[in-house]
Amino acid sequence: MSAAATVVARESLAEISAGLEHASPQEILRWAVAAYFPKLTMATAFGAEGCAIIHMLADIEPRVRIFNLDTGYQFAETLELRDRIAERYGIVVEYVRAETTVADYEALHGGPLYNSQPDQCCFDRKIVPLRKAIVGYDAWISAIRRDQTAHRKTAGIVEWDKKFGLVKVNPLANWTKNDVWKFILDHGVPYNPLHDEGFPSIGCWPCTRAVTGGDDDRAGRWRGSEKKECGLHLKE
């Protein structure tokens, strides 16, 4: 990490975040690009929010490196969306994978861990690969919204990410689900067709189910348990 980024992170982030609190996501992204590019990256799970940000970056700075944490358990529809995004924007989202294949990982543990030890599975196949993917970068962009989970309610527009040791930019923090979908429909943004089949939040196929009316957006993630986060956005 550069010394300049460290100064911003430690001394000025709260003030900068407050100043951007009522800015549009595009304005926030332009600030992030001006402050950190080319040492700015983005992780996306190809959710609706991430797709909206990719559309914005295509106009603001399409050279920002964007990657997907491919656990080996993603839906086919999610993987196909990567190709549609590349065709639409000319942006090829990089796959970042764990060191072991799914077959080797399950053989090592005597079977899949997503049912018995989902936190360990998320750690091994998402958090560890993310740590490697952000080496050399000063800031990363996430697509979280404050209204998604209790853990995300306190997310700043710009904040220091202690877990991963760099600045985190949340341009959609103060957007709602309706804001996201209005933007997608207004701009014809490619999105995962599973959203039209009752999947408001899409993760790995073993741990994601469709939801029914009245359920919150993340009720289909790790259904039947209290787990609502893979761990990437849990603050230390």
12 Cβ contact list (under 8 Å, min separation 6)? none
- 230 as an active site residue: the answer is yes
| DSSP assignments along the chain, one per residue | --HHHHHIIIIIHHHHHHHTTTS-HHHHHHHHHHHHTTSEEEE----HHHHHHHHHHHHH-TTSEEEEEE-S-B-HHHHHHHHHHHHHHS--PEEEE-SS-HHHHHHHTTS--TTT-HHHHHIIIIIHHHHHHTTT-SEEE----TTS-GGGTT--SEEEETTTTEEEE-TTTT--HHHHHHHHHHHT----GGGGGT-SS--BGGGB----TT--TTTTBTTTSS----STT---
Residues serving a catalytic function are 230
